[in-house]
Amino acid sequence: MTTDVELDVWREQWQADTAVPLNLRRNVERQSRLMKIGLVSDTIVTIVMGGGTTALALRSPGTDFVLVAIATWLFLAAAWAFVLTANRGLWTPSAIDTAAFVNLSVRRCRSVLATLWFAAGLFLCEVGFGLGWAYNHAIKGHETLLSWLLFSSLCIDVAWIFTVAFFGAIVWYQRKKRAELASLLELRREMAGPTTEAQEVQSSAWNGLFGLRAGRLRGSKKKRPI
């Protein structure tokens, strides 16, 4: 072995400590972009839906559309509360190493799975409210509720088709995410063996470093007792 090769081998081993595989890093970056896009989309939906129903309530006489506006804002508030809670701490990895990136991917995956459940529940509530409200204002003449739900209008039929497609998509995406989570957990096991806790402790080193933003640096440095 020549000395240069020896040095190259050592260098590779030395730097392997915290080198994040490119595909993992790109995956995390792509997820971060999607999260940002999701946040912007949620904001737009909030403005359009909340603003639209509020405007409708202000222009229309009676309390019917006020009820729709109130319900819309309640659904939006519930969605925002969930999204903000679910995304907390998921924007950046706690460290620039493989373990932290894998941990972040695992947490994001779990968050998406929880979000799917929440989205399904919220959607059912919205559909229930929407149908109830529409039935209340429907032109009477159908013999039963079932006939109204199935045959009263094209809009309601489209809503049913959309509901089936929505739940189909949720089931498909949930399976995909579960498979991804399983492979990530397997990767984490391979990497860490029984030392997951040690990794998280180690990642906290970078929490400290990256957590030191300008505002906190201005004053005094944080010093923990040894």
Partner 1 sequence: MLDRASLDRAIQERHFERILAANGPALSRLAASYTNTLSDRDDLLQEIAVAIWQALPRFRGECSERTFAFRIAHNRGITHLTRARARAGGSIEDEEIEVHDPAPGPESDLAQRQRADRLRQAVHRLPVAYRQVIMLTLEGLGYGEISEVLGISESNVGVRLNRARQLLRDLLENRK
Binding site for partner 1 (CB under 8 A): 3, 6-7, 10-11, 13-21, 95-99, 190-192, 195, 198-199, 201-202, 204-206, 208-210, 212-214, 217, 221-224, 226
Contacts 24+ apart (CB under 8 A), 18-22: 18/95, 18/96, 18/97, 18/98, 19/97, 19/98, 20/96, 20/97, 20/98, 20/101, 21/98
Phi, psi of 24 (to 5 degrees): -65, -45
CB 40 to partner 1: min, Å: 23
CB 208 to partner 1: min, Å: 5
**For partner 1, which is the closer residue by CB, 50 or 208?**
208
Distance CA 180, CA 174 (A): 10
CB 38 to partner 1: min, Å: 24
Given a contact cutoff of 8 angstroms between Cβ atoms, the answer to whether 90 and 108 are in contact is: yes
CB 88 to partner 1: min, Å: 21
Distance CA 73, CA 54 (A): 9
SS3 assignment, position 60 = coil
**For partner 1, which is the closer residue by CB, 46 or 207?**
207
**For partner 1, which is the closer residue by CB, 10 or 162?**
10
**For partner 1, which is the closer residue by CB, 10 or 172?**
10
78, two tokens: 């519930």
CB 210 to partner 1: min, Å: 7
**For partner 1, which is the closer residue by CB, 140 or 224?**
224
